[in-house]
Amino acid sequence: MTAAGRPALGWWLLILPALLLLLVFYVAPILQVLAISVTEPEPGLGNYERIFTSESVQRVILTTLRICLITTVLALLLGYAIAHAITLASPRARGWWIMAVLVPLWISVLVRAFAWVTLLRRQGLVNNTLMNAGVITEPLPLVWNEFGIIVGMVHYMVPFAVLPMLASMREIDPRLLAAARGLGASRAQVFRSVFLPLSMPGVIAAAVLVFIFSLGFYITPAILGGGKTLMVAEWISLQILDLIRWGLGTMMATMLIIAILVTLAVFSRIVDLRRIFGSGA
Amino acid sequence: MDGIHPPGRTARGLAWATALYLVLPILIVLPVALTDQRFLSLPQDGISFRHFATVLTSPEWLGSIWQSFVIAVFATVLSVVAGTLCAIGCWRISRRATELVRVLMLLPLIIPSIVYAIGLYRYFGPLGLLDRFAGVVIAHGVTGIPYVVITVSTALAAFDPRLEQAARGMGASLAQTLRWVILPRIAPGIFSGAIFAFIHSWDELVMVLFIASRDVFTLPRRIWDGINENLDPAMAAVAVLLVLFTTLLLMLDLALRRRRDS
């Protein structure tokens, strides 16, 4: 077996650098986070008890879940519209549609948050335009609140929703749609009884992806929330950088990991996880 | 399928609205950057390039752009070398154990960067890597590996393993096989991975907020401070430059893909 065993060792050596880097500089710091959550300020589950006793902890969790669910639903709806259009578009138009999704996906999250602040703040372009047109007399509170967070987060998440849905819609045989039309189904019927059911695996994959990305999202909520509406990630950074409460911060970080892994585990039974992350780049 | 079943009017309208919602807010930074006013606004009496001039002559902005660039280059090298070799190893061995390795490599995409950032803050302290160039390069490089593993694995899926077996059968060493047979075939995939790893590092903010402070002050960090402290048209000028730069990189990736597919 040495003849077969030796080359295998060579291939394993190729894996080694990445594996070591990941274990030493990624997994170890994360494990330390888990460890701190049960050792500081004193050993035990005291930090986790706060989930049941502290109103502020509960409020942050509920706010995060609410915003993430709304974001997921909106990103799915809008993303579905685009993915559907791309699937049925002519090859030339398809390129443009895909650019409209991919370019925003890779544009800096900071640029996008800045653009939304420019548009939505009190003297922003939206409020100024509406006031000049005489539609409103007082500027609307469009940003530094939950509304602003959701607008910015949905904007960030739509491309992530499109990719898995698009992958799944491309597997739908277009002749099925044409056949349904030919047999006398209306456009709405074709969509409801043929296209929608066949695209469901993509929708579920997209939902999982957008939801878990939203849960730990930091930059956009921090900029567009204005420090008043706190989501989990910003709350964690506040605990650690400003209040130096490592135990509480790492407890919430651990909860975040658990929430994400549980979501993935639950849905891995109905949807191929490779589809979620394989199409990410 | 073209023309057989085109989308209806409602579907088309909703798709258009969504595309505009995605693209227009990003485009708005251009007129704002060209304003002749000293505050964030649309141009009033004409366009002006002075806010671009402010950015491109400011030692702070230029210093941060340069730092971000150098960090991204080193981090990309780290991600590409580690990620490519790992993807090849996993592809060739292809057992349960390598499936596990692949899942492990995806962790940085799954776990929110805030969690990793606070972990690194404590982990880097005793190692003397806080606020150090090397520290940021390692953090960005390690979290860039998944992008490379994904793109290279995709490229390998289209590669005929018999070519590798033939090379080995004719007596090529592992290094020779890699150098002459495998790497040239998957080069476009590696370039794609490199572009994504580069953009990842170039844009990364959350980790930098925790593990860097004075000596390492990247571009995203400066933009973050700008958004939180002084909202002026210079910020819009920076945003425009970033949008142009990212779009350029994506076009490069698109051109590479087109060449690979044809």
Q: Is the pLDDT of residue B2 over 70?
A: no
Which residues in chain A have Cβ-Cβ distances shorter than 8 Å to B90? Answer: 15
The pLDDT tens digits of the residues spanning B98-117 come to 889 998 999 999 999 999 99
pTM: 0.91
Q: Is residue B76 in a domain?
A: yes
Query: Can you list the pairs that A170-178 forms with residues at least 24 positions away whose Cβ atoms lie under 8 Å?
Result: A170/A87, A171/A198, A172/A87, A172/A198, A172/A199, A174/B1, A174/B4, A174/B5, A175/B1, A175/B4, A177/B1, A177/B4, A177/B5, A178/B1, A178/B4, A178/B5
Return the pLDDT at B37.
Answer: 87
Which residues in chain B have Cβ-Cβ distances shorter than 8 Å to A107? Answer: 26, 242-243, 246-247
Optimal mutation site among B68, B85, B118, interface A, most CBs of chain A within 10 A:
B118
- The CATH code of domain A48-276 reads 1.10.3720.10
Q: In terms of pLDDT, which residue wins out, B175 or A279?
A: B175
Least confident of A104-118, B15-29, B163-177: B163-177
Q: Is residue B20 in a domain?
A: no
Optimal mutation site among B12, B20, B26, B173, interface A, most CBs of chain A within 10 A:
B26
Spell out the domain ranges in chain A: 48-276
CA B247, CA B103: separation in Å to the nearest integer? Answer: 30
Domain count for chain B: 1
Return the pLDDT at B183.
Answer: 93
Which residues in chain A have Cβ-Cβ distances shorter than 8 Å to B206? Answer: 218-219
For B43, name the nearest residue in chain A, comparing CA atoms only: A125
Contact A120, A139 (CB under 8 A): no
For B157-164, what is the mean pLDDT? 87
The CATH number of whichever domain residue B96 belongs to comes to: 1.10.3720.10
Q: Is the pLDDT of residue B86 over 70?
A: yes
DSSP, collapsed to helix, strand or coil, labels residue B89 as helix
Return the pLDDT at A273.
Answer: 67
Task: Please report the DSSP string for A61-109 in residue order.
Answer: HHHHHHHHHHHHHHHHHHHHHHHHHHHHS-HHHHHHHHHHHHHHHHS-H
Q: Which domain holds residue B217?
A: 61-261
Flag if B7 and A100 touch (Cβ within 8 Å): no
Flag if B116 and A30 touch (Cβ within 8 Å): yes
Return the residue matching tokens 């695209």.
Answer: A199
For A86, name the nearest residue in chain B, comparing CA atoms only: B15
The pLDDT tens digits of the residues spanning A38-72 come to 998 889 898 999 999 999 999 999 999 999 999 99
For B192, name the nearest residue in chain A, comparing CA atoms only: A281
Q: Is the pLDDT of residue B191 over 60?
A: yes
Q: H/E/C letters for each residue in B191-238?
A: HHHHHHHHHHHHHCCHHHHHHCCCCCCCHHHHHHHHHHCCCCHHHHHH
Closest CA to A235 of A220, A253, A214, A223: A253
Confidence of residue B52 (pLDDT cuts 50, 70, 90): very high
Q: Is residue B251 in a domain?
A: yes
Q: Two tokens at B174?
A: 């592992």
Contact A152, A224 (CB under 8 A): yes
Return the pLDDT at A65.
Answer: 97
Integer-rounded Cα radius of gyration of chain B? 22
CA B259, CA B253: separation in Å to the nearest integer? Answer: 10
Flag if A32 and B123 touch (Cβ within 8 Å): yes
CA separation, residue A27 to residues A14, A21, A73, B71 (Å): 19, 9, 32, 22
Flag if A117 and B105 touch (Cβ within 8 Å): no
